Structure 1
Amino acid sequence: MRKKLVWGLVASLIFSSAALGGCGKKEVTAESIVQQSNETMEKAKSFLADFNMDMEMSMTSGGQSVDMDMAMTGTMQATQDPDVVYMDMTMTSGLFGLSLDMDIYTQAQEDKIITYTGIAGEWMKTEQEGLSKSNLAELQKMFGSGKEMTLDEQTEKIGDKEVYVLTASISGEELEKVMSAMGSMANGLDSMDLSQFQADTCMKVYKDTMLPAAITLDMITTGEGMEVDGVVTKIEKMTITVDYKEFDTIDSIEIPDEALAAETIDPNALLQETETSQAQ
C-alpha cells in the first residue's frame, strides 16, 4: 500500500511538472520567428550569401515578339559597420548569347546610397537618396512583422541543420505601396504598373541560431506589360533567391581605387537612355 502511495505521488509530481512546463512554454509563430530573426540579423557584423535571379521577359513590336530571358548569378558579401555590400555577378542572356562579369559595390553614406559598377575594367558611379526612417518603418510594416506569413507545420533540413519555413503572397497593390515608400530607391520600378504583378515569398530560418538561411521571391505578371514608343515589354516571371552561407566571417570590404575615382552618372538619364535604345 505504501509503495502504491509513493508511486502515486511521484506520478502526480511528474504530471504536474510537465503541465506547468507546458503552460510556460512560448508558442512559436511566424511573427515571433521573423521578429527574432530580424533581431539576430541586426547583431550580425557581416554575411556571405549566394545570389541568383532568373527572369523571363518578352518584347513585342508590330506583331513580332522576341523572348529575352536573362539570369544573374554570383555571391554577395555585406558588412554592417561600415554599411557596404559587394556583389560578384555574372549576367547572361539567352537571346544574344551574352555573358558579362560584373563587380558591384554599394555603400551607404549619410543620407545617400552610392553604387559602383565595374564591367570589363570600366567603372561607373551612381548616387541615390537613402532610405529615411519613415521609409524603413513602412518597409518593416509591410514585410518585417511576419503577421501576413504562414509557418509550415513541418521544419526542413538544410545540410544537417533544421530550419523553419515561412511563406506569404504579396499582391501588386502591396508591391506598389512598397515602391512608393522607397522613393528614389525605386527608380525605374516606380514607373511600372505593379498592380499587374503578384509574388510568392519563402523565408527559411535556422532553428538553432534564428539567423536567415534562405529567401526566395517568385514574381509573375497577370497584365499586358509596359509600352514605350510602340514596344511592349513584359516580364513573364522573375525568381530571386538568396542563400546565406556564413555570418561574421568578413572583417571588411575594400572598394577599389579605380571604382572610387569613377565618374558619377545620373541614374535617371541612364534609365531614359536604356528605354530609348530598347524602343529603337
Structure 2
Amino acid sequence: MTADKIDASELGGVSETALMTLNGRAHQAGLPGAILQDPMAIELVDSIEFDFDKFGRKGQEMALRSLAVDACAAKYLTRHPQATVVALAEGFQTSFWRLSEAVRDPQFHWLSVDLAPVIALRERLLPASPRITSLSQSALDYSWMDRVDPGNGVFITAEGLLMYLQPDEAMDLIIQCAKRFPGGQMFFDLPPTMVKRLAPKGLKSSRRYRVPPMPFSLSTVQLADLVNTVPGIKAVHDISMPRGRGFFFSTVWPAIWHFGPTKRFRGAYTLLEFG
C-alpha cells in the first residue's frame, strides 16, 4: 500500500459500490468539458488505495445522477435555506460541498448516515464542518430520524440505496419518511424493473466485479401511484435525466427517457413531496 494513501479494501458488499460510484464520478469530473464539477471526488480517488480498475467502465451515469439530485436539492434549499439534508447510505458522495457552492449563503445542515466502516473512512478522507453530523448506522435503523429537526425543512437523499434493499424494507423506509417529515422531500433512483428478473445474482460490470443483487425496483407507473397508496406523499415527480456529453447522452437517451411507450421499462429518478 502506498504510504500516503488510505486503504479501503475492507469495504465489501453494497458498501463497496460507494467506491464504484465515486470512481465513475471522479473520472467524468476529470475529463475536458466535464459535465460535473467535482474536484473533491478526484482528490478522494487519488487519496484511496484500492483496485478501482476492477469496476470496469466509468460511464456518465453516476455523474448524471449527481446532477439530477443536486438540482432537486438546490431548489428545495433555496426555499428552505436552513433545512436539514439527510444523506442515507451516503458512501463517498461529495454533495455537501457541491451544494455549498451552488446555494447562495449556505446555511443548511447535513446528516450523513452510513455503516461504520464507510463513516470512518469519510471522516479520515473528507474535511469536517460544523454543519455536518455523521451517524454510523444503517438507514434502516430509524433512530436517525430523531436527530432531524423538521421545523426548517428536510430533504432526504437515497442515491444508490433502495434498489439493494428487500422490497418490504425499501417501501417501509419510504413510508416512515413520509410519516415523519411533512413538508419534506425525498430523492431516490431505481433501476429498470427487469434488472431484478434478468440478473437475480447481480449485474457484472467487468470480468472481475459483479454489482450486488438489486431486489427492489418500481416502474414509473408504480412510482406515480405512490401518491395514492402511501399516506403523507402528496406528489411524485419523475425527474428528467440531465443531458450528458456526446450525441447519445445529450440527444438519444433524453428522448428515450421521455418516450411514452418505453417509459415504464426504464429506470427512474424520483422526487417525493411529503404533505
Instruction: Normalising by structure 2, report the TM-score.
Output: 0.26
Q: Which has the higher contact order (CA 8 A, sep 6+)?
A: 1
Q: Which has the larger radius of gyration?
A: 1
The structure in which a higher percent of residues are strand is 1
